[in-house]
Amino acid sequence: MGLVEALDEAGGFGPYHYIHFVFITLSYTTASLWHQLAMLFQGYYNEHHCRIPENSTLEDWIPVTLDLGDGKFEYSQCEIYTDSIFQNSTIACPNGWTYDTAYYEDVDDTIVKEWDLVCDRSNYVELQIVYHTIGVALGAFLCSPLGDHFGRKKVLVGSQFFLVIFGVATAFSPSYEWFCALSVIRGALQGGVFTEGMILSVEICPNDLYPLLLPLFGIFTSLTQASMGFMAYLLRDWRNLQLAISLIPTLHLIYYWWCPESIHWLADKGYHEKVLSQLQTIARRNGGKLNEKVYYTQDTKKPEIESPGQWEEFKEFIKKPKLMLYLFCLCYVSFAAKCVYFGLHYMQGSLAGNLYANVAINSAVGIPGYLVSIPLMYHFGRRSILTLFTCLVGIHMSVVAIALSQTDQTEINTGLIATGFALSSKIWICGQSAVFAIMQPELAPTRIRSTISGISNGFGMIGTMVAPFIAITLNRIQEWLPGLVLAVVSFVCVVLILSLPETIGRGLPASSKEIYGYPRSLNNTEKATLKKNRSESSLFKKSPSQVDVTFSGGIQNEAISTDAEIYIVDSTHL
């Protein structure tokens, strides 16, 4: 019988899956996202001006760049008069800078202050984010095939272990150059943690329920973002913050001792004894009972580690133009989703309101987006809801751009309007991410699922890399430009999503041929089957502990033709 049927026989979805899904999701979201989000606080760009002599005023030494009215002025951040009396020439700041302490009180509590990343070095924070994101992209590309070859768990644990080590080393960086070099390494390890953690959490869930559970990882993402703001509020020094986000994930390494390997990967690689052992564990934990004796027609003592079909599967995938179009669309959607998500994150420093309050609100408003995506996907499918959410993101970003462009032309507080729409857009951004997290593995075969996800996530990291330049650099040119660019990125994404096939009810494909055969929309037979399944089950209905299985002489059940083959020989209880 098929692997899905065997999992149902072992008790279906139960405490075993709940526990491991929660711990795996918590481990990879906190370990990877904390390092990605920390730069908003570690690299906060404070207002500043050249350091002036004691017992003197700004008017004496600093040139005025803009008269704000009502006796208020905007002073130069990078120049100082050579003579405070004549004020006829200026030079670059010879004695360093004085920084505003609106959010930070200590002198060296951000990398901007400690290494003077201002004026001609003002883009160094964005460059650091780029270096870190390059590392993440490399990690996603390199660790994904390793996950397909050696297993999801091994790559996840190894990446997590070294991320702790290099994260702690980053806290003791003696210079900006060392900080960037270690950021590249941290990024590569973060890419391995996130990609393999995501794949493992998908493959540990039953086929019929993972689409309903995976969006819940977004709740962990929102809580992770909120906790990042809380830690940054308590730990104002960037080195202490770096130590905290690096050392806390060591607790995850304890859990990995009990973390299971993906049963889909084990079955595909021929580790049948380990599959059987895991089925027994699932049955024991979920209160199920395997009523049939499972055995395999091939040698279980010498599994094929090399998996000779992996490279052939990848060549089969890339030589079909239709599948390459799907891959291109997945890559762009991943790019756009990350670009908008992190672009909005970095925009929070320039939006009206308090930085910490904006982070907290931004985190909270994302939770409804993840929750509402579950019933919408269940009833209307993946593609249509992904299109809807992405379109709403584009509309919100357009309103943000329009509001900020009218700041000096109306008495209405357009800054607060822009902040409101930017924060509320997080609902649709998170919903978009949840739907895409489900759809992406449903368009990748089992043997190269980690590889395809790695390629797609790698382009997502390029979006993360571009995000700070859109949100920070363009904001310095015109504050409405980031919203406009993110809106255009989203609307282009809408067009490409429409090229993808609907995947609801089709499960996780085993081969490229299956994906190639998908019609763009569900055919009448698929619609009828989906309707029947919905009428017979609820969103979170637990599978029965015992299932009647039809078998005949070791022939795989045709109803689950894409699963690893598990054969039945007698009714001896395990």
- Residue whose pair of structure tokens reads 């650099």 in the numeric block: 473
pLDDT per residue over 436-485, tens digit each? Answer: 888 888 888 877 887 888 788 778 878 887 888 888 778 878 888 988 99
pLDDT per residue over 191-201, tens digit each? Answer: 888 888 878 87
Residue 149 has pLDDT above 60, yes or no: yes
Contact 245, 34 (CB under 8 A): yes
CATH architecture of 1-45+115-298+544-574: Up-down Bundle (1.20)
Where do the domains of the chain lie? 1-45+115-298+544-574, 48-99, 308-520
pLDDT per residue over 495-527, tens digit each? Answer: 999 999 988 877 778 788 888 888 888 777 767
Using a pLDDT cut of 70, give the percent of the chain over it.
Answer: 78
Binning pLDDT at 50, 70 and 90, where does residue 411 land? low
Count, in order, helices (H) and strands (E) of the chain: 24, 8
* pLDDT value at residue 395: 94
Average per-residue pLDDT in the chain?
Answer: 77
Average confidence (pLDDT) over 161-190: 92
pLDDT per residue over 241-265, tens digit each? Answer: 999 989 988 887 887 788 888 877 8
Residues 6 or more apart in contact with residue 521 via CB below 8 angstroms: 501, 502
* pLDDT value at residue 484: 92
Closest listed residue to residue 9, CA positions, set 290, 208, 281? 290
Binning pLDDT at 50, 70 and 90, where does residue 290 land? low
Q: Torsions phi, psi of 99, nearest 5?
A: -110, 145
Contact 431, 396 (CB under 8 A): no
Q: Bigger pLDDT: 309 or 476?
A: 476
Q: Is 517 exposed, middle or buried (0-12, 13-18, 19+ CB in 10 A)?
A: exposed
Residues 6 or more apart in contact with residue 512 via CB below 8 angstroms: 313, 316, 317, 320, 323, 445
Integer Cα distance of 235 and 242 in angstroms: 9
Intrachain domains 1-45+115-298+544-574 and 308-520 with the same fold:
yes
**Beta strands 48-50; 293-295: pairing state:** unpaired
Average confidence (pLDDT) over 396-406: 88
- Residue whose pair of structure tokens reads 């770096």 in the numeric block: 242
Integer Cα distance of 150 and 487 in angstroms: 40
Given CATH 3.30.590.10, say whether it is the number of domain 308-520.
Answer: no
